[in-house]
Amino acid sequence: LFVAIFIGSGRGQDLIVTTEGDSINCKITKAEPDYIYFTFKHKGEMRNTLLSVAQVKTYTYNYYSNSEVPSESSVTNFPYPRFRAAINGGWSYRTAKITSNIPSDLKGYVEDLKSGYHYGIDLGYFFTEHVGLGLRYSTFRTKNEIDNVYVTYPNGSSRYGKMSDDISVNFIGPLLNTRLISKNKKNGLFLNFGLGYMGYKDESELVSENFTIKGSTLGLCWEVGYDIGLSDKMAIGFQLSLMQGVLSRLKVSDGQQTQTIELEKDEYENLSRIDISVGLRFNK
């Protein structure tokens, strides 16, 4: 049980008395059924924090006539984090099916190229406790190679050699961020949506001939994540994302000339994948 006391109508400093008997000189910015939010001065700096009502015995407005804390009109107080930066990394899997025109002895090679890793960074700003906007950059990487590949050319000649692919898919674009924050303001459930530029690049080798294959398209991002607070400003986050994009055109270069290839509908390059991420979150 706690009691709120009002003294006068001035702009003095407030007093909070905890259940452990501690007195806190502060400026109370918000009182809710579960938490008391306040600003206090610590080593010359203004700090914003909160206490559970279970920790508060009484609080008194305008207890002191003179205040070391500026009035509410000159202090911006947010009872939740506004800025969020996230660093992510983890395992990825491309969801597209292997087309029937891939030779059976190469299907294992192509299947291995569907798995890879990703890393990226998000920056976000929340206008309200639940909604914000952000920006994302992420990269997916995978590669594979095999030896003793047999190639027959149109003139009837054939050669043996190595085949390799080094693939990267980049995404950059804005995000719509939504969240539900726990009562302690440290943990949060996030649902995000984004769209932006998705670029594809494959550094390929086929029997001593090198090619660079590029393409770009509109990419979509859908994801759900959960942050677990390690402190007031840092958390560890877990995230499941679906990235989507389809290429209908590719540019192939052998270092001397570049050819643009318009793909048939059944030849489209599906870049869709699932990302499972873990990373650090920085909140302010």
Are 17 and 107 part of one and the same domain? no
Phi, psi of 114 (to 5 degrees): -75, -25
Taking the C-alpha atoms of 105, 107, 111 and 114 in order, what is their torsion angle to the nearest 10 degrees?
120
pLDDT for res 45: 76
Are 118 and 198 part of one and the same domain? yes
Are 19 and 124 part of one and the same domain? no
Are 65 and 94 part of one and the same domain? no
Q: Cα 126 from chain centroid?
A: 14
Are 115 and 256 part of one and the same domain? yes
* DSSP character string of the chain: --EEEE--SS--EEEEEETTS-EEEEEEEEE-SSEEEEEEEETTEEEEEEEEGGGEEEEEEEEESS-SSPPGGG----SS--EEEEEEEEEEEE-PPPPTTS-GGGHHHHHHHTEEEEEEEEEEEESSSSEEEEEEEEEEEEEEEEEEEEEE-TTS-EEEEEEEEEEEEEEEEEEEEEEEE-TTSS-EEEEEEEEEEEEEEEEEEETTEEEEEEEEEEEEEEEEEEEEESSSSEEEEEEEEEEE-EESEEEEE-SS-EEEEEPPGGG-EE--EEEEEEEEEEE-
Over the stretch 181-205, which tens digit does the pLDDT of each residue have? Answer: 888 788 999 999 999 999 999 999 9
In total, how many domains does the chain have? 2
- Give the type of residue at 258: T
Are 120 and 154 part of one and the same domain? yes
pLDDT for res 72: 47
Please check whether residue 137 is in contact with residue 174, taking contact to mean a CB–CB distance below 8 angstroms: no
Q: Which of 94, 106, 144 is nearest to 275 (CA)?
A: 94
pLDDT for res 269: 94
pLDDT for res 70: 57
Are 191 and 101 part of one and the same domain? yes
Q: Cα 114 from chain centroid?
A: 22
pLDDT for res 102: 84
Domain extent, residue 192, equals: 83-283
Q: Look at residues 29, 51, 74 and tell me which one is the last residue of a structural domain.
A: 74
- Which tokens go with 180? 């539900």
- Which tokens go with 119? 């890393």
pLDDT for res 76: 47
In this structure, what CATH number is given to the domain that contains residue 269? 2.40.160.20
Q: Look at residues 45, 74, 103 and tell me which one is the last residue of a structural domain.
A: 74
Are 270 and 171 part of one and the same domain? yes
pTM: 0.72
Provide the mean pLDDT of the chain.
88
pLDDT for res 93: 98
Are 69 and 135 part of one and the same domain? no
Q: How far is CA 134 from CA 70, 83, 156, 176, 225, in A?
A: 31, 10, 55, 6, 15
Are 95 and 67 part of one and the same domain? no
How do the pLDDT tens digits run along the chain, 284 residues long? 555 555 544 557 888 999 888 888 888 888 888 888 888 887 777 788 888 888 999 888 888 776 666 554 444 445 678 899 999 999 999 999 988 888 888 899 999 999 999 999 999 999 888 999 999 999 999 999 998 887 777 777 778 889 999 999 999 999 999 999 888 788 999 999 999 999 999 999 988 889 999 999 999 999 999 999 999 899 999 999 999 999 999 999 998 999 999 999 888 999 999 999 999 999 98
Taking the C-alpha atoms of 240, 245, 246 and 251 in order, what is their torsion angle to the nearest 10 degrees?
-120
Are 231 and 130 part of one and the same domain? yes
Are 12 and 97 part of one and the same domain? no
Q: Which of 213, 208, 98 is nearest to 153 (CA)?
A: 208
In this structure, what CATH number is given to the domain that contains residue 39? 2.30.30.100
pLDDT for res 3: 55
Give the count of beta carbons closer than 10 Å to the beta carbon of residue 1.
8
Q: Which of 171, 177, 175, 168 is nearest to 214 (CA)?
A: 168
User: Which position has the token pair 């670029």?
Assistant: 199
Q: Look at residues 19, 52, 74 and tell me which one is the last residue of a structural domain.
A: 74
